[in-house]
Amino acid sequence: MEIRGERECTACGTQWSYYETGTVRCPSCGNLRSVATEDERREHTDGVTTLVLDDAIAAAGRDDYRAAAREARDIVRDYTHERGFIRAGDLGDLDDTVLAAWELRYVAAAFARAFDHSEAEAYYFVSLLRGAPTGGRPDASDVPDSMRAARGNGYADAVDDYRADIRRFLDAGPERPAANDLLASLDDHVRRIHALDGDVPPATADRLVTAARATGRYARDGDEADEEAAREAIDHLSE
């Protein structure tokens, strides 16, 4: 949405940036009434939120994987709902924490439903829990075959959100002649992965992310090298 992010409290005069706090509440006195101090509205989709999984990690430490999964599932659902990629009109990157959170949504859903898990699956789940808040994710080679659909679906969802924000950014800003084709190709591959219920090799999911990131850089900076990198990654997805 487009907002005027620079605010001034009508009660105490404190000025702050909604872009930084994510709230209209005055950080000094708690007043909810404020006025804009700028005329320009800027596109802003990214909420100010952090991914905290301490309780889920603690449950996993007790080998209570179902409790850990239920806890993590709720947290990452809220986190991915709040996160976007445009801050004060600027397009950011598709960051690792968002990718890990989306992957964890699917992994946690699977663990919450089942009672038994292999040692490899449990290790993968705990590794993702511990790494997600800082963007850490198991390597593609460490994803168990039974969990690769979680990575495929999670990355596809993350790319779909990013693609939508790239479109919002371009609608409000620079002209990038090649962007429409790139975004359409990303959409095609997201749909294909979802049609397969995410069951694609983890390396394929990684290439989808590579293509999306290069497309984002091209949309932001207009560099032909990024356009070429995006096309190359998309071409490999089609092989």
Task: Break the chain into its structural domains and give their ranges.
Answer: 2-40, 54-237
Q: Which residues, including other chains, have CB under 8 Å from residue 150's CB and lie 6 or more apart? A: 103, 106, 107, 110, 198
Q: Among residues of the chain, what percentage have pLDDT more than 90?
A: 75
What 173-176 contacts at long range (C-beta under 8 Å, 24+ apart), as own/partner pairs, is 173/89, 174/219, 174/222, 176/218, 176/219, 176/222
Structure confidence at residue 176 (pLDDT) = 95
Structure confidence at residue 160 (pLDDT) = 98
Q: pLDDT tens digits for 186-215?
A: 999 999 999 999 999 999 999 999 999 999
Q: pLDDT tens digits for 27-61?
A: 888 888 888 877 677 888 998 789 999 999 999 99
Amino acid making up residue 185: S
Lowest mean pLDDT among 18-32, 47-61, 94-108: 18-32
Q: pLDDT tens digits for 121-155?
A: 999 999 999 999 999 999 999 999 999 999 999 99
Q: Among residues of the chain, what percentage have pLDDT more than 70?
A: 98
Averaged pLDDT score across all residues of the chain: 92
- The answer to whether residues 176 and 225 touch, using CB atoms and an 8 Å cutoff, is no
When pLDDT is cut at 50, 70 and 90, the band that residue 84 belongs to is very high
When pLDDT is cut at 50, 70 and 90, the band that residue 76 belongs to is very high
Round to the nearest angstrom and report the end-to-end CA distance of the chain. Answer: 37
Structure confidence at residue 1 (pLDDT) = 61
Assess whether pLDDT exceeds 70 at residue 100.
yes
- The answer to whether residues 148 and 198 touch, using CB atoms and an 8 Å cutoff, is yes
- The answer to whether residues 53 and 45 touch, using CB atoms and an 8 Å cutoff, is no
- In angstroms, the CA 138 to CA 131 distance is 8
Helix (H) or strand (E) holding 90: strand 90-91
Structure confidence at residue 42 (pLDDT) = 83
Q: Is 86 helix (H, G, I), strand (E, B) or coil?
A: strand
Structure confidence at residue 63 (pLDDT) = 93
| Dihedral of alpha carbons 84, 155, 159, 219, sign | positive
Lowest mean pLDDT among 64-68, 80-84, 171-175, 188-192: 171-175
